[in-house]
Amino acid sequence: MASDYTVGDLVAEFLAAIGVTTAFGIASVHNIPMLDAIGRRNTIRFMMARGELGGAHMADGYARASGGLGVIFSSTGPGAANAVGGLIEARFASSPVLHITGQTATKFADRALGTVHDAYDQLGMMGSVSKAAFRIRSASQAFGVLTRAATEALTPPMGPVSVEVPIDLQRAAIPRPAALDGFSLPLPAPRPPAGAELDELAARVLRARRPMLWLGAGARRAGPAVRKLLDMGFTMTNSLQGRGIVPEDDPRSLGGLHGNGMPAVTAFYRGVDLMVVAGARLRGHETGDLSLKLPDALIQIDVDPLANGRTYPNQYFVCGDAALALEGLAERIAGRFAPDPAFQSDFAAMKAQARDEFLASLGVYASFPGQLAEVLPKDAIFARDVTQNNTTWGNRVFPLHDPRQNVYPVGAGIGQGLSLAIGAAAAANDRRTMVMTGDGGFFLNVGELWTAVQEKLDLVVVVMNDHGYGVIKRIQDSTSEGRRFFADLQGPDLAGLAALAGIPFFRVDRADGFGPTVARALEHRGLSLVEVDMAKVGEFPAYYPFNQRR
């Protein structure tokens, strides 16, 4: 008897079997069989993005907020190309995203015959921006390719993985794989560091008196071990992507104030006799293109051997899972480590000074992080785009308490925040979600606002409106003698836009109204729009590195 079960059915059932409950994307001529199967099964919520770029960012935001796999379905050719920007950001962020795209029929693929959406070397294009890329070349191998792709996306260092499914194979009848019953991905266990490596790490720590941790996204699961080390006498900071591993209001943590452009912090580093960097890249973007002076006694822990010495030189490298390594370290030095008794109190005083100096540089916007902290729930997801406010206080001093709250463009691309936030809101469950974006970034993908409307998401969108590209203007001030070409924007009236979308609208026109206005928006369950009229609140002051004397 012929099977009426197809590869399209397999894709839908496979995703459900590995725990996917939400996917994003665009319906297209080259993915209809797969999406038809998802619709018929009705076990996965499919959120219709307005474009593949937005859908890819949504899948990324969903992965970050949920801790699971994000899924994006794109069209073929131009549609797959539209997803590229989102896949690049997911690669920057090491987000586990599974990108499933179609392909022209197998007999036409790679022959340049001009069939619909037939891009030159689509697989090569996907491979250039993804951690890995695969094509299903026969119906019989579909299950294996999907398994390999999802496993690869979720294996550290995680990242986006693309799969092409030719349209003829999507319709191909196959026997339903019996292995789908009770199926789970063959994910490798976290890589334990070698015992000898941990012994050497412990020996070096025991010789230190003023040790610090620098934590990145690879240490997100290390919170319990980190707290043990802090209780023993360590202090810590984190990369912007590693925020919230320990609540950032802890006096032993600098959070995002990790030193670039902060004299109090860089001066303190001179007295740190050991820095242990765990699961962090020490990105040039966050260290002033590696100009930030870190302690010479630097040890690096990373699951990826390629991280060894990639940015800053180290005196020792431990290859393994950061959480396992830090837990092993804590076990080995418990009851034996004797820190400088004044180290943590000196650190707390330095943190207070650095925070005060940083806030003082923000002019009229200095009160904004405190106002927001008073009204935004502690467990809320705080999504951001690239703006002056987010580059400064949003990334640095607004306190986060959990890694899954932290959603922002790691690659510093403008216009990604709204779509990242939509994906995060889809994963939020009972948590609230807020995104702070500038008018330039908001208008770049404003059509995705209607994705949030259609899906009835609970999301507060805050637009810091300075009627232009404020970040670009600062760069032009610094590098082009203040000539601000092509940085002013005309955009739609935001109150009118909110009315068109049928959502509540609020406006902030003075500095002390920021927190209370966001609080009013939060009283509404659903989508709302808040405009901060920066022309009325006041000009955002020049910030590091644009406020340095020449």
Per-residue model confidence as pLDDT tens digits over 124-167: 999 999 999 999 999 999 999 999 999 999 999 999 999 999 99
Both tokens of 280, joined, read 């962090």
**In whole angstroms, what is the distance from residue 324 CA to residue 171 CA?**
45
Question: How much is the pLDDT for 117?
Answer: 66
Question: How much is the pLDDT for 115?
Answer: 72
**In whole angstroms, what is the distance from residue 141 CA to residue 139 CA?**
6
Q: What are phi and psi of 300, to 5 degrees?
A: -120, 135
Per-residue model confidence as pLDDT tens digits over 265-278: 999 999 999 999 99
Per-residue model confidence as pLDDT tens digits over 46-76: 999 999 999 999 999 999 999 999 999 999 9
Of 42, 55, 36, 47, nearest in space to 97 by CA: 55
Residues with Cβ within 8 Å of 175's Cβ and at least 6 positions away in sequence, in order, are 3, 5
Q: Average model confidence (pLDDT) for the chain? A: 94
How buried is 439 (Cβ within 10 angstroms: 0-12 exposed, 13-18 middle, 19+ buried)? Answer: buried
Res 356 pLDDT > 80: yes
Res 42 pLDDT > 70: yes
Q: What domains are defined for the chain?
A: 7-177 (3.40.50.970), 195-352 (3.40.50.1220), 361-537 (3.40.50.970)
Question: How much is the pLDDT for 125?
Answer: 93
- Are 79 and 439 a contacting pair, CB within 8 Å? no
The residue type at 286: E
Q: E strands within 360-408?
A: 381-384, 406-407
Question: How much is the pLDDT for 11?
Answer: 98
Decide which of 203 and 483 is more confident: 203
Per-residue model confidence as pLDDT tens digits over 359-374: 999 999 999 999 999 9
- Are 192 and 117 a contacting pair, CB within 8 Å? no
Is residue 113 very low, low, confident or very high in pLDDT (cuts 50, 70, 90)?
A: low
DSSP string, 176-240: PPGGGTT----PPPP-PPPHHHHHHHHHHHHT-SSEEEEE-GGGGGGHHHHHHHHHHT-EEEE-S
Per-residue model confidence as pLDDT tens digits over 385-411: 999 999 999 999 999 999 999 999 999
Per-residue model confidence as pLDDT tens digits over 413-427: 999 999 999 999 999
- Are 225 and 354 a contacting pair, CB within 8 Å? no
3-state helix, strand, coil split of the chain in percent (to 5) is 40, 15, 40
Q: What residues are paired with 437 via a beta bridge? A: 463
Question: How much is the pLDDT for 1?
Answer: 46
Work out whether the CA dihedral 496, 501, 503, 508 comes out positive or negative: negative
Work out whether the CA dihedral 420, 421, 426, 428 comes out positive or negative: positive
Q: Specify the DSSP element, H or E, that contains 533.
A: strand 527-533
**In whole angstroms, what is the distance from residue 257 CA to residue 266 CA?**
10
Is residue 439 very low, low, confident or very high in pLDDT (cuts 50, 70, 90)?
A: very high
DSSP class of 276: E
Res 520 pLDDT > 60: yes
**In whole angstroms, what is the distance from residue 403 CA to residue 240 CA?**
10
Gyration radius from the chain CA atoms: 24
Res 105 pLDDT > 70: yes
**In whole angstroms, what is the distance from residue 190 CA to residue 184 CA?**
16
Per-residue model confidence as pLDDT tens digits over 288-314: 899 999 999 999 999 999 999 999 999
Alpha helices in 73-188 (DSSP H): 78-82, 84-93, 122-129, 142-154, 167-170
Q: How far apart are the first and last CA of the chain?
A: 80
